[in-house]
Structure 1
Amino acid sequence: MELMGTIQSGMQVGALARLPSGDYAQVNGDYIEVLNAGHVATALRRAGVSEHAGAIGGNKESLAAPTVTIKKRRRIALPTD
């Protein structure tokens, strides 16, 4: 499964994925819903993305690494009276 980007169907937002069979699917957690190929092709054309592009936005080499932010919780000992 190759993750392509995000997709919104109604109120549900999930990941757009291309399955090994070539079909497109919306992935929400462990639930995978296969999408209508014609609707996906139309949406990709409107977005200006080639249907055979490796990822949204073009080739994979031009994509920057995602930024990862780690937040550490700090505990402060309050003085006791």
Structure 2
Amino acid sequence: MRVAMWVVLAVCALLLLVVVLRNRVAGRWLTYLALNVVVAAFLLYFVNLLSSYTHFTLPINVATLCTVGILGVPGLFLLAALKLVVL
């Protein structure tokens, strides 16, 4: 039963991707979003790479990737300030 659900999910995701990529505007938007997520991952990785010097880390997870992906560098500063204030 579990395998059947995963197969249905994969087929639905593939069909959704085909529908989105047929539209040029949606394809550009999807490409822009993917690029922002990749840049966000590199920014968070760079911050964590410097953690041996700064003793400051930010986790790389869906919430932080979305925040930095949508807001950019100000989102990174927002997460850093939030971590400093909360902890």
- TM-score relative to the length of structure 2: 0.24
Higher relative contact order (CA 8 A, sep 6+): 2
Pick the structure with greater CA Rg.
1
The structure whose residues are more often helix, as a share, is 2
- TM-score relative to the length of structure 1: 0.25
